[in-house]
Amino acid sequence: MGMKLYLLLFILGSSHAARNIPKDLWFGLATAAFQSEGAWNESGKGESIWDRFIHNANLRVNGDTTCDSYHKWQEDIENLKKLNVNHYRFSISWPRILPDGTLKSINQEGIDHYHKLIQGLIEAGIEPLVTIYHWDMPMHIYELGGFLNPQFADYFGDYARLLYQEYGPYVRYWLTINEPYSICNRAYGAGQLVPWLNLIGDGIYQCSYVLLKAHARAYRIYDEEFKSKYNGKVGLVISADWYEPASNTTVDSDARERILQFQLGWFANPVFKGNWPQIMIDRIANRSAQEGFARSRLPQFTQEEIDYINGTHDYFALNTYDNYIAKNDEQNITNPSYWFDVGASWVNNTYYPEGFRKLLNFINDRYQPESIMITENGLITGDYLEDDDRIAFLRGYINSLLDAIEEDKINIVGYTLWSLMDDFEWGSYNFRFGLIRVNFTDPNRARTWKNSGYWYKNILETRILDI
């Protein structure tokens, strides 16, 4: 081979095409209080369901200290600043503000903590995106019935109003509840997340009914009492994955549609269109009748409730990670279950960033949101600093995102990567999502940048994606 050919091969092999990133597209990072703060019983904080259940389970791991961000928040801001992000998504711990979840006692130290964090971010030129509820429910609220208590919206509304009063002048982007699907399906239905309930046939739907009314309450309070003063935006964080049908038969494509309706539509439909997806109403009512229930296991909204929930969005906040292959899996009447209500099954697909673009198109077509903010996306890995797999994942996803913006003309305003740093992944420290490594055996919880941290910083600074 001649020298010239070598040179050509070298250039082809090593060069990447470059793609410009629109200047007004925000890039950020996310965390959540229970996963990163620690200080579980300090400075007046009350007990959350995650504190209680994890302690009782004796797992040898817990969230007592985790990344210790309650004390190391300044270092976190330093890192965010170095990374050059536009925004930072974090959550407020409800029991840190209201130890038993109610207005009976307000914990000033908790209030002050988030004031410092928010001011610190603003001084660093970083926009705060605040999640009001990221799963750490005060124990007392859970004892009152949690997401199965029809009065839950009252407590949640009181808590949300207090946050708007305190932080409203500084926060422009609010997120009410993180991932209703994970809460109602995985925590209340499938027993995978605290409080590990197995109410897969009925509690799962009652949870969604209570939760949506609580979200709507928090939205309406902002809209009526604060919007004219502060002009912020409020949204619900909806999680969704992309599904491809296993074959081009109608049964499989219908199965794919059912999954999307039972996952994404379950929460997006009431908020963006009004009421549950019709397919959920019909199928659950039908199966419930055959199972001998007096009424559908899916609670029916009154017209007043439909109208109260409908339209409670200022943007579509989307968490997305995976994509799957879906196939029809209809079951005869057996035990009442969400899975049989869906009547489909799915398996993990290989890496398919194009699915992200398809999901964005699906959301845009179905719900016509004013804008979409990606509030979570990222890759789980083991514990290593040379995380070039994460870089490859992100490169593909961000490229797909740019296709959705530039070619499909979808109004996407921001992309938030999960996570700033490794944290407590709801029961384990072995599943790592961070751009920054945290040493959980070091009392100082030393943070070390991974390759992906340098890579993200670079694309945010240059506004060029190497593809």
How do beta strands 447-449 and 436-438 pair? antiparallel
Chosen residue from 21, 28, 29, 32 binding ligand NOJ by CB under 6 A: 32
For 338, half-sphere exposure in the C-beta direction (CA atoms, 13 angstrom radius) is 22
Q: What is the DSSP string of 248-291?
A: SSHHHHHHHHHHHIIIIIHHHHHHHTSSS-HHHHHHHHHHHHHH
Place of tokens 């494509």: 253
Give yes or no for residue 137 binding ligand NOJ (CB under 6 A).
no
Residue 216's nearest CA partner among 315, 150, 312 is 312
Residue 418 lies near ligand NOJ (rule: CB under 6 A): yes
Which residue's CB is nearer to ligand NOJ, number 183 or number 363?
Answer: 183
Question: Is 179 annotated as catalytic?
Answer: yes
Q: How many helices (H) and strands (E) does the chain have?
A: 19, 15
- Rounded least distance, CB 182 to ligand NOJ, Å: 6
> In the set 62, 66, 69, 178, which binds ligand NOJ (CB under 6 A)?
178
Q: Is 136 in the site for ligand NOJ (CB under 6 A)?
A: no
Q: In terms of CB distance, is 183 or 280 closer to ligand NOJ? A: 183
The Cα 262–Cα 339 span in angstroms is 10
* Minimum distance from residue 354 beta carbon to ligand NOJ (Å): 21
Q: How many CA atoms lie within 13 A of 415 on its CB side?
A: 25
50 near ligand NOJ (CB under 6 A):
no
Which of 101, 116, 100 is closest to 166 using CA atoms?
116
Q: How many CB atoms lie within 10 A of CB 91?
A: 25
Q: How many residues does the chain have?
A: 467
In whole angstroms, the minimum distance from the beta carbon of 188 to ligand NOJ comes to: 16
Q: Does 314 bind ligand NOJ (CB under 6 A)?
A: no
CB 424, min distance to ligand NOJ, A: 8
Q: Kindly report the number of other CB atoms within 10 A of residue 270's CB atom.
A: 26
Closest alpha carbon to 341 in 441, 265, 412: 265
CB closer to ligand NOJ, 367 vs 418: 418
- Min dist CB 384 to ligand NOJ, Å, is 18
Q: How far apart are CA 133 and CA 176, in angstroms?
A: 6
Let me know if 376 is a catalytic residue: yes
- Rule CB under 6 A: say whether 379 interacts with ligand NOJ: no
Closest to ligand NOJ by CB, 90 vs 301, is 90
Active-site option among 47, 127, 166, 376: 376
129 has which bridge partners?
Answer: 89, 173
- Size, binding site for ligand NOJ by CB under 6 A: 9
Catalytic option among 47, 127, 179, 305:
179
Residues catalogued as catalytic: 179, 376
Residue numbers at the binding site for ligand NOJ (CB under 6 A): 32, 35, 178-179, 319, 376, 418, 425, 433
